[in-house]
Amino acid sequence: MSDRFGSQPPDEPVIGANPSPRTSPFVPPLPPVIGGYLEEDTPTPDAGWDDEERYDNEYDDGEEDEGYYDDYYDAAPARQPMFYVLIALAAVVGGIFIFLLYSLVTDGGSDTPKKATELKIVIDQPVQSDHVETGKPLTIAVRAIATEPISRMDLLINGATVDQFLPDAPPPADLIYAHSFSWRFSAKGDYKIMVKVTSESGGTKSSDPVSVVAFEGVGDKPVVIKGKVVASVSMRTGPGETFEAVGRLNPGDDVNVLGKTRDLEWLLIDANGQQRWVPRTAVELTESLALVQVREPTPAAPTSTNTPSASPSPSPSSSPTTSSKAPDFAPTNATLIDGGTRLRVTVANLSSNPYAGPLVVSVGGVVPGTLPLAFSVSLPANGNGTVDFELNPPVTGPKTAQVKVDPDNAIKEANEDNNVATFGLTPPLEQPEIVITNVQPGGINGINVTIQNNGGALAATTVTVRVRITATGSEASQPQNLALAKGQSATFSGIVKPGTGPATVEVVVGGQVLASQAITIP
């Protein structure tokens, strides 16, 4: 067979020839075989093996042929470069995942745990129990403090969101926010105002509720509100104890309130078509007293308090009265009022004839000099009236007042010998003034009421706070033995709820209602 393909061994064995050994780059080829023996080898006793035995020995699995198999398996194919690129990418992605997981668990590697968001919200205006006129703008001033920026403020009226404020960016450096909402109440009633803030992380905080009362403006139209008498009381012709008593009211009587004095101590009521005055503490009101107008007593009323004329003159007119019979004037009392800033003198007409006209009264011994003033008075037959003197400086110690009526005898009287009298004066003690400063009608522990004394000292006595349901009349009360100096306060805690709905809280001392406030019990 010709060797036209070179010296490489054929792929198939040649019959009768020795098998060609497989070559390897790592193992040198065997020497050529001559005559059945290895060249350079000395014949051995095995030289007589036949070809079959020789073939079996060369391809036997014995240890002497391990070189053949090492050549076959050690020559592993080379790996592709993309395989190593994929391995590197997998390592990078795994490292990033582990880093992110570690950062999440340790909050970026910081050893300090993240502090929770803190929020504080306060309503500066209005204040508790403010009265607001319907239809007029009400400013609701709010302050909020946070440990992170605030994203939203919500204004809530009776639990419903009615307005919203979104703070501008960037946030204040100190994270203290201030905002003013504007709101108008369209109907009268009791309202609770709250403001809720929301931080950037979603935390929320609501302010304490502020209760206000919305009332309809009086304007030029008189407003009448209903009331119920809670204590037996005398009706008078003027707003004061010195005015004539002209009837009596009993507990449970219904009244219509037409007006009030500026100090809110007296109410003008309609009594069977007649206008009469009663103390404010004797009447329980169904609506806010802010609804009614301030009414001044009529100067010409028979027993009203008379004020000095704009240009007082010690000399009355020459014809002070048209009666053919003369009156009879006599000073019957003199007292200091309003902390010693005024002197009130009572003048009686002891005659059976009334008198209407100017009258001069003089007072000495109270302030330097003598005070003669002319008043326009109306004194009924066998009646009396009062006149007031302004004192400057106020009287703060005991004094003796010499009072003269008609000192110049300008008016002809039935008796001229009783026009002068002397009275000892003692500065009046300031009376206690009890007010309700706070009412918390909710809670599982009952109703809490705080009262305060804004007037003179209240001696030790039993003070009772009473809560009465308007619709049913059911009530609950709690007494305490208290002594309150001026400015002191006391709290009545855990008063049992007598029911739900509109109610009235009253402060009662000695059977007299000293303060009251309308509330709604949830």
Q: Say whether pLDDT at 317 is over 50.
A: no
- Whole-number percent of the chain with pLDDT over 70: 74
Q: What pLDDT is attached to residue 290?
A: 67
Rounded-to-integer distance, Cα 345 and Cα 388, Å: 6
Fold agreement between 119-215 and 225-294 = no
Report the side by side order of strands in the sheet with 420-425.
370-379, 355-364, 399-405, 420-425
Q: What pLDDT is attached to residue 90?
A: 82
Query: pLDDT tens digits for 169-179?
Result: 788 877 888 88
Rounded-to-integer distance, Cα 6 and Cα 257, Å: 138
Q: Say whether pLDDT at 14 is over 90.
A: no
Least confident of 3-12, 243-252, 461-470, 500-509: 3-12
Architecture of domain 119-215: Sandwich (2.60)
Instruction: Report which residue type is found at 109.
Output: G
The phi, psi pair for 91, rounded to 5°, reads -65, -40
Q: What is the dihedral of CA 430, 436, 437, 442, to 10 degrees?
A: 170
Per-residue pLDDT, averaged over 451-457, amounts to 89
Query: pLDDT tens digits for 101-118?
Result: 666 555 544 444 445 568
Which of 292, 155, 158 is CA-nearest to residue 212? 158
Distant-in-sequence, close-in-space partners of 502: CB < 8 Å, separation ≥ 6: 469, 470, 471, 518, 519, 520
Q: Say whether pLDDT at 404 is over 80.
A: yes
Q: What pLDDT is attached to residue 84?
A: 78
User: Is the peptide bond prior to 19 cis by the omega test (within 30 degrees of 0)?
Assistant: no
Q: Say whether pLDDT at 266 is over 50.
A: yes
Rounded-to-integer distance, Cα 84 and Cα 65, Å: 36
Is residue 48 helix, strand or coil?
helix
Residue with tokens 């009596």: 248
Is residue 63 helix, strand or coil?
helix
Residue with tokens 């036949």: 50
Least confident of 116-125, 378-387, 435-444: 116-125
Least confident of 113-122, 176-185, 325-334, 509-518: 113-122
Give the CATH superfamily of 225-294: SH3 Domains (2.30.30.40)
Give 188 or 204, the one with higher predicted confidence: 204
Count the neighbouring beta carbons within 10 Å of the beta carbon of residue 391: 19
Architecture of domain 305-425: Sandwich (2.60)
| CA angle in degrees (0–180, nearest 5) for 485-397-458 | 15
Q: What is the 3-state secondary structure (H, E, C) of 287-351?
A: CCHHHCEECCCCCCCCCCEECECCCCCCCCCCCCCCCCCCCCEEEEEEEEEHHHCEEEEEEEECC
Token reading at 347: 């003048």
Rounded-to-integer distance, Cα 408 and Cα 421, Å: 15
Q: What pLDDT is attached to residue 297?
A: 62
Q: What pLDDT is attached to residue 459?
A: 86
End-to-end CA, the chain: 121
Domain edges within the chain: 1-76, 119-215, 225-294, 305-425, 434-521
DSSP string of 403-457, one letter each residue = EEESTT--S--S-SSSSEEEEEE-PPPPPP-EEEEEEE--STT-EEEEEEE-SSP
Rounded-to-integer distance, Cα 58 and Cα 52, Å: 10
Rounded-to-integer distance, Cα 421 and Cα 495, Å: 54
Rounded-to-integer distance, Cα 98 and Cα 291, Å: 72
Is residue 256 helix, strand or coil?
strand
Task: Spell out the CATH class of 434-521.
Answer: mainly beta
For the chain, counts of helices (H) and of strands (E):
3, 34
Rounded-to-integer distance, Cα 445 and Cα 504, Å: 19
The phi, psi pair for 320, rounded to 5°, reads -70, -20
Per-residue pLDDT, averaged over 503-507, amounts to 93
Distant-in-sequence, close-in-space partners of 404: CB < 8 Å, separation ≥ 6: 331, 361, 362, 363, 419, 420
Return the top range by mean pLDDT from 2-6, 143-147, 219-223, 295-299: 143-147
Query: pLDDT tens digits for 76-105?
Result: 555 567 777 778 788 877 778 777 766 655
Average predicted confidence (pLDDT) for the chain: 76
Distant-in-sequence, close-in-space partners of 47: CB < 8 Å, separation ≥ 6: 36, 37
Least confident of 148-157, 438-447, 495-504: 438-447
Distant-in-sequence, close-in-space partners of 332: CB < 8 Å, separation ≥ 6: 346, 347, 348, 384, 421
Q: What pLDDT is attached to residue 463?
A: 94
Distant-in-sequence, close-in-space partners of 23: CB < 8 Å, separation ≥ 6: 29
Count the neighbouring beta carbons within 10 Å of the beta carbon of residue 395: 20
